[in-house]
Structure formats: structure tokens, C-alpha cells
Structure 1
């Protein structure tokens, strides 16, 4: 199998389509009042926080299913346990995203052992441990990780490049997304997962060439929303590419300004709420069981 030599590749985050501003131009929207994306939340005990994370993770699986982001048994979402930060909760190998409940989730330690949750005979996708364990280990700021083989994300990943920053929506990833420019087969070995974590670095998303998308966040809410948004960004990029026309570039300062407003952890958590409200109305929160 031929594998791209990642040591010679660059995880570029600055697309060539961005325009530089002249020194004569005034600052972008100087003095503008920023969005208020704050959400009220009572201080929680470790047990309450654990339950919240598990419920939100189960809801995230339902949301993924509703938006067509699952594919058989591939794809996995994880959340760090608040009481045991070296362990994380993950979906079992054989349960459909659309059927996921809090009681199905498995708690895995740093050795890959299931130490809590799920039913008898419980097991998980080995690739989930290989990828997620390394990221949780390398990024203590990351609470949740989302990865799946979504249609538009996987299609765009086959091009081996980053999306251009040509829409307002895409700017949540401005200077915050990278490309892992290689494919070494289904990920089961630590060596491959180390490379992915290195290319992700301190960003919120990485496109895995010939594979799919991966997003992270300081909460299940933000990591999930970033994935939903990145899937749409990839879809829009494919549609723009299909026109054969050159898109109008966005200025660097405008991109930075917009990213600072919409690309924050608070923004990601806030934007997740309508998806949660929608799935709660549809399911009656039956994922809490």
C-alpha cells in the first residue's frame, strides 16, 4: 500500500483565496459589540457532570443519525469522564446511532479496557480507541471528539486539501483546521493515531485524507456542532467547485474578525442547542435510559 510521506507535507491553514487589506482601509467593524453566546449552567457535582456528558453524547448520536452522518458500525463519538479524566465514554460497536442510549455507552481506560457501562459482551470499535485515546491524551483541553465517514466530508477528503474560506459559515474554521495528508488504511495502530493527533495539533478540526472528518471541542456540544458545520462546509465547497467558476475571496481581516465572533467554544455550545431541542422534541429524550 502506498502511503503519502507526511513528513514532507504541510498542514496549511491559509488558503490562497484570501485577500489582504490595504493599510488605508479602516479596521473591520471597529467597536462592534460581540455576540453573547453564554449559557446558564448551575455548578454540578462530578456525578451530575458525568450524567450530563453521557446524556449529551447519546443525544449527539441521535443527531448524527438524523442528519445522515452514521454509516453502519463506522464512526465514533467520545467524551472524557469528569471523575477519571484518563478515561472516556464511547459508543459500543453494534448499536445504531439512531438507537443509542446513555446505558449503552462504555467507559474505557487508557489501556483500552472497558471498566463500566453497556451490556454483557460489550465491545467497541478498535479504531475508536486508537484515534480517540491518543487525542484525549495529547489534548487535555479536549472533552469530546467526533469522527465519522459522512458523505460530503469523505468525498471532500478524497481531494487531499482544505476547503477554501469563501463563505461566512466556513470562517468558524479559519486558522483552526488542518489536513492529515496520508491514508495508511483502517486505523488500528498507535503510530497512525500519533500522526493524526500531531496534525490536529491545537485546532478544532482535521480532514483525514481519503477517510473523513474529525472534530474536537471543550464539550460534547461544541465538538458535535463543529462536525455538523464542517460537513456543510465540505458540501458547499463541492457545490462551488462543480460550477467551474472562481469564487469571490474573503479578506484576511474579515475572516479573522468573523472567526473571533463565531469560532469560539461558547459559540459551538450555543449553536448546538437548536439541534438538541429538535431531537428532544422528536424522541421525548428516550435516549436517557
Structure 2
């Protein structure tokens, strides 16, 4: 039976500032170097952009040590055919993912473009979420050390820091199919059912998942951040002392300003620029 331990009662989307900026981090002073959200003249350019960022997200996961054999899958919708999604190939290390070996698949798990096989668990989980939530653009999952360890506790992340507050009332704990490998489609449906209105999920006895209605960059960064927050909470609890929590009103304020989709996208920009400069083969 599907069950969840922590589900938000509803959160407001970040409001534009009075001066029209999306975020307080956008400079008011004109003429400064600062990342700008991309715009596209044609769908081919947008597809290439999403593919490049998907590859960069895989490479970032490799740097973070998120690899575990063939486990782990990242997806992003195709901008022209939203019923299809791009994903990393089966049995290719995150560090070896590149433009030329990405695969395009449908919600039935059929590869429609690419030479490699698709990860069955990735299809079951991601296809179910993408199909159930047409607004979700991208999704990430990997078998990480600290996220998997924290998931064994079957409880939500506490707002022990400003970073953790970014997930306050913005993640769920899913108990359905806990610990059972997700290779049957009903398991994906169970996960997909709970992945609405939040950017992250802790699947008990399994690990972390993130989703974005904005970009693969946001989904990837918030996965990196969630893993980091799980590690920090485990470290704090290992001291045997009760941590001081950020009060709910302050946690919500922090989440609005440092936990939005835009901020996730913004955090990923230096990661992408570093990878593009140091690992040019990702564009092969």
C-alpha cells in the first residue's frame, strides 16, 4: 500500500520581485556578467541545449561519485516531442556519457533513437513520472551513499541549515515498494503518484529522486544538494546532540529565495562552464 510520511500542505511559487527580477540574486546594476536564461529560435537549438546539459549533469554526477555500476538515470523531455525523453545509456559510466551515446525513449521503454539499451529501472521510474506529470521536464536518480543511508530511516529531511531549508515542505518520503527493485511498471506508477508539487523525494530503502518543471540543470543541482544535506544531517545526528532547527517561517523564507527552480538552474551554471572547459569530449 502506498504511504508517505511527509507531504506539504501546499506551497506558493516564488513571487517576482517588485522590480521584475526573478530572484534577489539577479544584479540590479546593468552591464555585469551574469548567467541569463536561454531563449531559442528553433527547436533543434533547444534540443541541443537540453542534450548538452543532460550530458553535463551525468559528468557532474561522476565527479560527485554518484556512480554505482550501471545504476543511476537522468532524463529530460525532448522539446519537440514531449512524449519522448533523452536519457543516459545503459551500462555506460556517468563519466563516459556524451552527446553521441545519449538515447531517446518513449513512455513504454522503447528506444527510438540511439544504439544503447535503456535501464529498465530508469524506464519504470522516470517514464511513470514523466507520463503522470506533463509539467515535469527532467528527473534524476542515483544510488548514492548518504542519500541511500538516510532513506533507510524513512523520514523527511530536517531544516538544520539554510541549505536544508531549501527542501522544507518541498519533498516527500515514499514508503511504497520500499527496498524492492523497481522493474515492474506498477512500482513506477506508485512513485509517480506522489511526485506532484515537490522537487524531491526520499524513497525508503532505495534513495533519492529529484524532478524539475524548469530544466535538467535544476533537477541535477537539487539532487547534488539533497545528497549533501542527507550527509550533513547524518553527521549532525552522529554527534548524539539534538540539532537546532530553522523555525518554519524562516525555513519557508529561505526555501522561497534559495530553493526555487531558478536558483537550482543558477547553481548549475558554474558546474556546466567548468565541465565545458575541462571535459570538451562531452560534446562529441
Shorter-chain TM-score above 0.5: yes
Size of the aligned set, in residue pairs, is: 264
**Residue 271 of structure 2 corresponds to which residue in structure 1?**
275
1:240 aligns with 2:236: yes
1:74-118 deviations in Å (ceiling 9; x for gaps)? 00000100011001011111211101101111100122211112x
Does the CA contact (< 8 Å) of 2:158 and 2:168 recur in 1?
no
Matches within 5 A, 1:210-225: 210-217=205-212, 218-225=214-221
Per the alignment, residue 125 of structure 1 pairs with 119
For residue 89 of structure 1, give the secondary structure of its aligned residue in structure 2. Answer: strand
Distance 2:25 2:134 in 1: 26
Offset of residue 265 of structure 1 = 1.2
1:201 and 2:196 equivalent? Answer: yes
1:212-237 Cα deviation digits (max 9, x unpaired): 10001120100000000000000000
1:144 to 138, 153, 160: 138
Structure 1 residue 184: Cα displacement: 5.1
Cα pair 1:11 1:199 within 8 Å, conserved: no
CA root-mean-square deviation: 1.9
Aligned to 1:57: 54
Q: Which residue of 2 aligns with 1:95?
A: 92
Q: Deviations over 1:50-97 (max 9, x none)?
A: 111011101111110011011110000001000110010111112111
8 Å Cα contact 2:5/2:155 also seen in 1:
no
CA contact (8 A) 1:179 1:199 kept: no
Unaligned runs of 5+ in 1: 15-30
2:31 match: none
Instruction: Quote how far apart the aligned CAs of 1:141 are.
Output: 1.6
Shift of 1:172: 1.1
Aligned to 1:104: 101
1:35, distance to aligned residue in structure 2 (A): 1.4
How far the C-alpha of 1:10 sits from its partner, in A, is 3.3
- Conserved 8 A contact 1:184-1:192: no
Pick aligned residue for 1:11 from 6, 12, 28: 6
- In the aligned structure 1, how far is the partner of 2:234 from the partner of 2:5? 22
Q: Is residue 175 of structure 1 aligned with residue 176 of structure 2?
A: no
Give the alignment's TM-score, normalised by structure 1: 0.87
> Contact 2:217–2:264 (CA<8 Å) still a contact in 1?
yes
1:115 and 2:102 aligned:
no
Counterpart residue number, 1:21: none
Shift of 1:13: 4.8
List runs of 5+ in structure 2 lacking aligned partners: 10-17, 27-34
Tell me which residue corresponds to 2:29.
none
* Partner secondary structure for residue 6 of structure 1: coil
> Structure 1 stretches (4+) deviating beyond 4 angstroms?
none
Separation of aligned partners in 2, 1:212 and 1:40: 31
CA-to-aligned-CA distance 1:128-170 (integer Å, 9 cap, x gap): 1110011111111211100000111011111111111110001
Check if 1:76 corresponds to 2:54. Answer: no
Rounded Cα–Cα distance in structure 2 between residues aligned with 1:130 and 1:44: 34
| SS at structure 2 position matched to 1:146 | strand
Query: How far apart, CA to CA, are the structure 2 residues paired with 1:81 and 1:114?
Result: 13
